[in-house]
Amino acid sequence: MSITWGVATAAFQIEGATAEGDRGPSHWDTFQKKPGAIFHGEDADVACDHYHRWAADLDLMAELGIPAYRLSLSWARLQPAGRGPLNPEGVRFYRDLLIGCRERGIEPYVTLYHWDLPQPLADEGGWPERSTAEAFGAYSAMVIDELGGLAENWITINEAICASFLSYDWGMQAPGHTDEDEAIRAAHHLLLAHGLALAEFRARRPEAKVGITNLLSRIRPYSQEAADITKATEARARMNEVFMNPVYRGAYGEAVEALFPQLRDPDLVRDGDLALISAPGDFAGVNHYTNVLIKADPASPFHGYQMIQVEPTPTSFGWSDTPEALHALLVHVAEDYTGLPLIVTENGATFHDYVTPDGEVHDPERVQYLAGYTDAVLKARADGVDVVGYFCWSFMDNFEWSWGYSMRFGLVYVDFATQQRIPKDSAHWYREFIAAQRDATHTHETGEPA
C-alpha cells in the first residue's frame, strides 16, 4: 500500500455559520466570548465561511491535486442538545460535503470529535462526567447510521490531551478550567468515548477503518543529569503515555497511575472500561508538532520542569523544525506500542505569511518544513514502519483556537476580511510532491514510467 497524502481541517476552525442550519452552541462558542480568552478578542462566528463556501473549497483542493481530506463533524451542528435526534440540516450539510469530496476524487477521512462539545453537555459538567462519554457513544451510533457509508476512514477523538488537560487543567482551551482532577477524569472519559464509538462502528459498519488520534511530542532529557532524566520520564507519562498506554496496552501503567492516582479509583475506571478502550482499531493516528527537551527546575510552576524546544525553532509558535523527531517518533510508536498502520493525521507549521505585491504568498520556510517532514515519513516507511498516511495541517488558514487568526498554518492563504483564497507557494510545492509520489508508486508497481 502506498502512502496517502492529504490535508486536514476542523469544523469549528473553518465553518463559521455558528447560528445557522439549526446549529447549537458548543462550549467553544461560549469560551470565545470570555474576555481575554482569544487573542485580540476574535471569534469563529464566520471563520473561513466554509459552511457557505465548501463547494469552492473542495474545487480548489481538487485543483491542487490533493487526494485525501481529513475533516471533522461538528457535534454541536449535528446534535445541538448533545442528546436526542440528529439535526436534519446538519446531516444534510455533511452528506453534501462528503458526497462532494467523492465527486471530486477526494477521499474523506472523518473525525467524529474535534473539541466542539455541545453546550448543554458542558452545562452538565462536560468531559469530567461519565455521562458525556455515554452521550458520545449514542451520538456516534446515529452518525454512523446516517453518514457511515460516505467515508471509509474514521477518527473517533482528536487529541484527547487538548480536550482534557489544556481544557480543564491549563485553562487554555474551552471551557478554560484549572483543575487537574477534572482534567484526568476528562482524559479517561475521552478515551472511553473512543472505545464506545469504536464498538458502535464494529456493530453497525464493520468494514469501516477506525482509529484514534493522539498528539505526540518527542520528549527527551535536557542532559544526562539524574534530575533531568527523572523529569523527562515524568513528562512522557503526563503527555504521551496517559493517552497511549490504555489504547494500545490495555492499562494506564504504574508510572501514569503514580502521577494520577485517581486512575486507581474503581468509580472512575470501571470494570470493562479498559477492555473497551483497548479494543483493536484499524490504524493509529499521530499528530506531531514539537520536539522538546525537559530540564528539571524546582522553581517552575509546571510540575517542576521546563520544556525547551529543540533548535532550530523558526515557526511563529517557536516550535521546532526537526524532521528527525517525527521519524524517531513513528519508529517508537511502531516498535513500542502497536503493529497497526500509522497515519500522521496532523503536521504543519505557522509562519508570518502575507500577500506580496505580485499577489502571491511566498512561504519558503513552510516549503522547507514540509520537504523535511514528508521525507521523514518516507524514511520511516523505508525503515519498515507501516506508515500509510500523512495529512498536512492545514488546508487553509483558519481560526487557531485561543490564538484567533494570528497563527497561519494553511497551504492556502485566507483574507478573512474578503474570504479570498490564495494558494501559497507551499500549496504548489505539495501538489508537485504528491504528483511525484504518485508517479513513483506507479513505476514501482508496474515497472513502467508514469
346 classed as catalytic: yes
Among residues 15, 182, 234, 346, the one annotated as catalytic is: 346
444 is in an annotated binding site: no
75 is in an annotated binding site: no
403 is in an annotated binding site: no
Among residues 159, 200, 234, 365, the one annotated as catalytic is: 159
400 is in an annotated binding site: yes
401 is in an annotated binding site: yes
15 classed as catalytic: no
SS (H, E, C) the chain: CCCEEEEECCHHHHCCCCCCCCCCCEHHHHHCCCCCCCHHHCCCCCCCCHHHHHHHHHHHHHHCCCCEEEEECCHHHHCCCCCCCCCHHHHHHHHHHHHHHHHCCCEEEEEEECCCCEHHHHHCCCCCCHHHHHHHHHHHHHHHHHHHHHCCEEEEEECHHHHHHHHHCCCCCCCCCCCHHHHHHHHHHHHHHHHHHHHHHHHHCCCCEEEEEEECCEEEECCCCHHHHHHHHHHHHHHHHHHHHHHHCCCCCHHHHHHCHHHHCCCCCCCCHHHHHCCCCCCEEEECCCEEEEEECCCCCCCCEEEEECCCCCCCCCCCCCHHHHHHHHHHHHHHCCCCCEEEEEECCCCCCCCCCCCCCCCHHHHHHHHHHHHHHHHHHHCCCCEEEEEEECCECCCCHHHCCCCCCCCEEEECCCCEEEECHHHHHHHHHHHHHHHHHHHHHHCCCC
114 is in an annotated binding site: yes
146 is in an annotated binding site: no
- For the annotated binding site for substrate, the residues are 13, 114, 158, 289, 393, 400-401
Task: List, by residue number, the catalytic residues.
Answer: 159, 346
- For the annotated binding site, the residues are 13, 114, 158, 289, 393, 400-401
